[in-house]
Structure 1
């Protein structure tokens, strides 16, 4: 492979802001695996956020890139998996598997797509030092064939339209929007873009905690919500505490500790129990040696947390602590309190052209 921009390249990043800035260019924020695509003829490499190759996990996407991108190019984009009319991060994470036979099967069952949003090189031209406005124009010219699994992200300079996108596109599983200065050059590993994500709050039951990696203090609180059948589902964690507060929590939570047998998640140690719900304690798909055991607590405390959006029945990302809710009855912490975005057809977003 001989390209004007060679791997590895760390992707350019975005810093979180509360409102969409008027910088001339806004795109949807895709919820997938960030990738830098390097193509030189039949040679294709998919770089990742941590600069480790993703190529072996997405053989079907490599073929699509060969069929629908210029012969020599470097693209910045997002690998996504479409499930019906929305994105599925769960199906996407399942694609990272060590067994080649499993990778082949999943490539057939849950094929991935690429959503491209920047162009770092084309032919012999290194474009990283050129303004975004020029890179975007050349990207649009380069990706005229989006009939396959390679898509060009929509973009707008209209703030009113960007705000509508922020609201509408969540219904298709998108994460928010990203604003980029039109005169900005491509700056790897620097937060020169701006991201605006959804934030909502929910009252959750605190059903346990995990120890901090340094030991002796609370690492994260395990959160639960009651479903319609009266089961306490594990929906995520909250971990945004100062170190001194983590130490104090150990003593404060001590009166609520209970035995595993008396706990709603008492079956967590049985691998078969994880097939039917969101129990903590399952083996991590990223690190099989990681200790995911927890200290069970009687489900009597309620905490208000901030979250961006749901992935199925759980919070997509780690939540943020807002306040304790001693006024809330734990039994009232159900899924019915959660706001559901209006469904939006993902095909309508992927089919947009400038």
Structure 2
């Protein structure tokens, strides 16, 4: 795994000999946990629904790097302009790119930056992006601060962006569990997926899961419209919900099923009924389009086995439900043979729009 390192340069990158960060840098990551950790020296930050970004303020330019190491710079001229105007040369920042619309984050508008083409500048003007910052990897002049404790890095970060444009904001941080409960209970509607917990004494470890993340989750129901694997031995479930016009719309995919779950579900599934002229009457294309996956990095079309959409299952999902789909994979909980497909909540479009997938 590439991790990015402090490397010695004879010219020091900023005019002085010393260690500098060579991009790409693998961001420090968080391991999922079932409960929010507590204890002395532990602090918590909101987990924002956006794109992770490492921002390099170089001597003559700004470079934006995705979590996977891709160059995002050209897609966010508004962000690069804000960083160039407010952040000193040599600084490397870690944060989350977000776009706000009517008081909440919009993941689809982030994705549109990549496909906007000639409409990019207009899109950036109408829906400007912001960076919610939570760490600093290099200070003024390129001084690497990975080994400093989080408490000191946080203090440096706040000083660096004091008075910066509104596009650059430092994320809230707290040790108060009442505040954490407030975020998880009332802030999910504005774009918080959960909380990330960190140790104030911890150093920044590129590429390592040294933080903890707790996702806000919901228990709900969906209809199986297809599977990967086979009808009798499904590997994962492709899920949907009906809209007001009675069409089954694709809403997401499950994590891989355990062996006993595959047996339970496989015994309930059947192939789609045949329509006129002997063709299968199934509402989804084969394969599923790559764009339906909601992934940023190299999505691919998915071949699957269609099923008759009559089986309802209970699922455990996080709150990242954008563009009428769960962006992350959901967890299968149990089959609901006691429920009809008409008991599953309808898929309601924004502004009650019922356009096709």
Q: Same fold (TM over 0.5)?
A: yes
Question: What's the counterpart of residue 49 of structure 2?
Answer: 31
How has the CA–CA distance of structure 1 residues 168 and 251 changed in structure 2, closer, same or farther, with 3 Å as cutoff? closer
CA distance in 2, matches of 1:221, 1:281: 13
Deviates more, 1:181-190 or 1:105-114: 105-114
> How well do the aligned residues superpose, as a CA RMSD in angstroms?
2.9
Q: What's the CA shift string for 1:180-208, capped at 9, x where partnerless?
A: 10000000111111111111111111111
Q: CA deviation at 1:259?
A: 4.6
Q: Residue 256 of structure 1: which of 252, 271, 296 is its match?
A: 271
Question: What's the counterpart of residue 344 of structure 1?
Answer: none
Q: Residue 338 of structure 2: which of 322, 327, 335 is its match?
A: 327
Q: What's the CA shift string for 1:102-134, capped at 9, x where partnerless?
A: 434433343211111001111232110000000
Question: What's the counterpart of residue 354 of structure 2?
Answer: none
Q: CA deviation at 1:302?
A: 1.2
**Number of residues paired by the alignment?**
321
2:55 is equivalent to residue 16 of structure 1: no
Question: What's the counterpart of residue 273 of structure 1?
Answer: none
SS class of match (1:45): strand
Are the aligned partners of 2:197 and 2:213 in contact in 1 as well (CA < 8 Å)? yes
Question: What's the counterpart of residue 343 of structure 1?
Answer: none
The alignment's TM-score, normalised by the length of structure 1, stands at 0.81
Question: What's the counterpart of residue 132 of structure 2?
Answer: 115
Are the aligned partners of 2:289 and 2:301 in contact in 1 as well (CA < 8 Å)? no
Q: What's the CA shift string for 1:247-269, capped at 9, x where partnerless?
A: x6896476333457664515x47
The alignment's TM-score, normalised by the length of structure 2, stands at 0.80
CA distance in 2, matches of 1:210, 1:284: 18
SS class of match (2:246): coil
CA distance in 2, matches of 1:315, 1:100: 26
CA distance in 2, matches of 1:29, 1:142: 22
Are the aligned partners of 2:28 and 2:208 in contact in 1 as well (CA < 8 Å)? yes
SS class of match (1:108): helix
2:86 is equivalent to residue 71 of structure 1: no
2:67 is equivalent to residue 49 of structure 1: yes
Higher relative contact order (CA 8 A, sep 6+): 1
For structure 2, which runs of at least 5 residues remain unmatched after alignment? 1-11, 15-19, 349-357
2:205 is equivalent to residue 194 of structure 1: no
Are the aligned partners of 1:80 and 1:112 in contact in 2 as well (CA < 8 Å)? yes
